[in-house]
C-alpha cells in the first residue's frame, strides 16, 4: 500500500492557496481555472483553513451571501484535518470517510507539502490492486 509521499510524487501541478482576506468569488474562480475542488487558506506559511466547493454551496449560496463581498475566512473549514507524508492511502481513506471530507493537506513540521484528494487515493488503490493482480497472474502462470 502506497503512502502519501508516494502519491504526491505522482501528482503534477502546484498547490493553490489564498490569503484569508481573499473574496470567495476569487477562490471559486481559482477552483474553476485549476479544475480543483478545494483551495488552501494560508496566513504566510501557516495553513489556517481549507475552502471547498461544499463550503461555498453551504455557506455562501444557501445563506444568500455575496461571493464578491465575503472573505474566504468566513466560509473556510478550520481547523484543518491534515495527514503526514508517511500515512498510508488506507489511513487517509478511513479519515476521509469518518470526517466526511474529500481533501487532506499533507503537513510535516508545520510545512504544507501537498494535498491529496479522494480521487488521488482511489487512483492509487486501483493501481496497487492492478499491480498485485498482475503479479499473482504471473505467479500462477509460472
C-alpha dist (Å) from residue 103 to 31, 134, 137: 13, 30, 34
Q: How confident is the model at residue 11 (pLDDT cuts 50, 70, 90)?
A: confident
Q: Encode pLDDT of 93-138 as tens digits.
A: 999 999 999 999 999 999 999 999 999 999 999 998 999 999 999 9
For residue 142, pLDDT over 90 is answered with no
Could you state, in order of their start, the residue ranges of all structural domains in the chain?
4-141
**pLDDT score, position 10:** 86
Third-level CATH fold of 4-141? CBS-domain (3.10.580)
Rounded CA separation 50/17 (Å): 9
For residue 34, pLDDT over 80 is answered with yes
Residue appearing with cell numbers 498482475? 134
Rounded CA separation 55/97 (Å): 17
The pairing of beta strand 17-19 with beta strand 38-43: parallel
**pLDDT score, position 12:** 78
For residue 57, pLDDT over 90 is answered with yes
Count the alpha carbons within 13 Å of 32 in the hemisphere toward its beta carbon.
7
Give the residue among 58, 73, 63, 70 at the shortest CA–CA distance from 25: 70
Amino acid at each position: 500500500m502506497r503512502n502519501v509521499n508516494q502519491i504526491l510524487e505522482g501528482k503534477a501541478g502546484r498547490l493553490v492557496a489564498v490569503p484569508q482576506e481573499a473574496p470567495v468569488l476569487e477562490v471559486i474562480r481559482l477552483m474553476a481555472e485549476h479544475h480543483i475542488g478545494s483551495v488552501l487558506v494560508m496566513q504566510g506559511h501557516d495553513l489556517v483553513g481549507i475552502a471547498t466547493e461544499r463550503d461555498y454551496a453551504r455557506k455562501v449560496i444557501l445563506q444568500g451571501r455575496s461571493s464578491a463581498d465575503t472573505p474566504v475566512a468566513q466560509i473556510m473549514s478550520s481547523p484543518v484535518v491534515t495527514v503526514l507524508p508517511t500515512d498510508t492511502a488506507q489511513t487517509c481513506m478511513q479519515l476521509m470517510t469518518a470526517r466526511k471530507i474529500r481533501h487532506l493537506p499533507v503537513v510535516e513540521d508545520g510545512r504544507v507539502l501537498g494535498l491529496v484528494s479522494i480521487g488521488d487515493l482511489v487512483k492509487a488503490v486501483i493501481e496497487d490492486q492492478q499491480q498485485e493482480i498482475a503479479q499473482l497472474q504471473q505467479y500462477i502462470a509460472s
